[in-house]
Amino acid sequence: MHITAGHHHVLIDLERLPEMDQRIPRDANHVRLDEGEMEVLLALPPGEHSVQFLLGDEEHEPFEPTLIAKKIGITLE
Ligand SMILES: [Cu+2]
């Protein structure tokens, strides 16, 4: 059973969402904001990118039901 504390994971340029019944990976495409960050600086090359926020619990697993934002498309020059 999960408690209600949570934090965002920033999903970057993902074509497929991570498995919703497993720990969310932590790498360049899955940025974890679990230290109370109010902002994050992402170093991305110019071009088309996508960003999406997924709420994870204290075990870094998605909540059930899943709390996920719409994917945002961005273009960097
Ligand atoms: Cu997490």
Q: Is the pLDDT at 5 greater than 80, yes or no?
A: no
pLDDT, one tens digit per residue, over 26-40 is 999 999 999 888 899
Q: Which of 30, 28, 6, 8 is nearest to 19 (CA)?
A: 30
Q: Per the domain annotation, does 2 fall within a domain?
A: no
Cα–ligand 1 centroid distance for 46 (angstroms):
27
Residues spanned by the domain of 71:
7-76
Residues with CB under 5 A from ligand 1 (ion): 32, 34, 56, 60
CA of 74 to the centre of ligand 1 (A): 24
| Residue 65: cis peptide before it, omega within 30 degrees of 0 | yes
Mean pLDDT of 13-29: 96
Task: Please report whether residue 44 resides in a domain.
Answer: yes
Give a yes or no: residue 40 inside a domain.
Answer: yes
- pLDDT at residue 21 above 90? yes
- What is the tens place of the pLDDT at every residue in 30-74? 999 998 888 999 999 999 999 999 999 999 999 999 999 999 999
- Structural domain contains residue 1: no
Q: How many domains does the chain have?
A: 1
